[in-house]
Structure 1
Amino acid sequence: MIAVLPQGGFQMRGFISDHQLRVIEELRADKRIWLILVMQALQVLQDEGKPARFAQRTGELAFDIGAGEWADNLEEVEAGTYVELLVPLAGGADYIDAVELLRDARGLLREGNVPSAIGQARKALEQVREAYGTQKVFVGAVKKSPRQRSLAERWACMVEDLFSTMSGASHNDDMTKEFEYTREDGAMLITATAGMLKRLAADRDSL
């Protein structure tokens, strides 16, 4: 809805979901935001209730959204919500199998099937392990003290430890048969896997 203000300006009101705001923030990448309004004989309602039309009935109107105004609105959304990671896909193909597995994991978690949700996330993480060769790096890294490990070795240890933690949900040996994972555990492991996939998507050209 667009309302004309007494001082001659106008105010636009509409609805955008929290998820849509997060998507815009991800795509924005610290750049300016422009709102483009495509008009098809657009009408506005004046304060006295009489309909009025813009002189320009068709075409586009562009509005710059100030960084401070955008940050204030985004802060309100994030204040009472959760962390959500968006994994970019180049051409809709890169690592799409892993992303589908994460979607399955999220659905299983919503249904309360925590072990299966973690199992699907573990399958997604296997693509990260393969792309970075973390198993081989890990073998050498664990022979060093944590302080002496390179950044690549520390990432490899994180990936392998994450994979090991998720493997416990399969309960297939004497050590893991007593393991119990909560819904919060599942959410953390799925989110961590999404973070790894996001990093992999950013590094795709250098691997």
Structure 2
Amino acid sequence: MITMEDIIREGHPTLRETAKNVAFPLTNDEEQLCKDMMEFLKNSQDPELAEKYNLRGGVGLAASQLNIPKRIIAVHIPGTVENPEPALSTIMINPKVVSHSIQDSCLAEGEGCLSVDREVPGYVVRHTRITVQYADSNGTQHKIRLKNYAAIVVQHEIDHTNGVMFYDHINQEDPYKISQDVTLIS
């Protein structure tokens, strides 16, 4: 089981590496990694398990954050009270943004990261809508369109596979400066 002790923190060189593509079929270790990553996200969102195992809540995790520089990400975005099904729950292998909107947006509260143990103030501007191509753990190719929060989460995780941290996108001179055509998402 993955815990916070398995997640490397900012300053670790692997977080700045470009991860390698994954070949199919997956090895047994890679299959287990995919399962463990998704289990971590689900456990981190369960209040009892998160407290028991001292997990910080997360909606996305990249293998790079586990010091495994492979292009594997897990995303588990919970549903709402009205629609309890997960908004997005998947493993993406070799994910790639193949198209995106001109419109940009950012989270009003800013972004956080399991690999960053401090608050980093500022807006992280990203594409509002993206189309992502990826393989699932069986090697089946998928292409999905995401918008708003789900698009932001997936872009954050894909950035990890490219050695980019969320705060690299923040305006260093004025962290809360954004152009007027950027949408703030609550």
Q: Same fold (TM over 0.5)?
A: no
Higher relative contact order (CA 8 A, sep 6+): 2
Q: Which has the higher strand share?
A: 2
> If the TM-score is normalised by the length of the shorter chain, which range does it land in?
under 0.3
**How does the TM-score come out when normalised to structure 2?**
0.22
Q: Which has the higher helix share?
A: 1
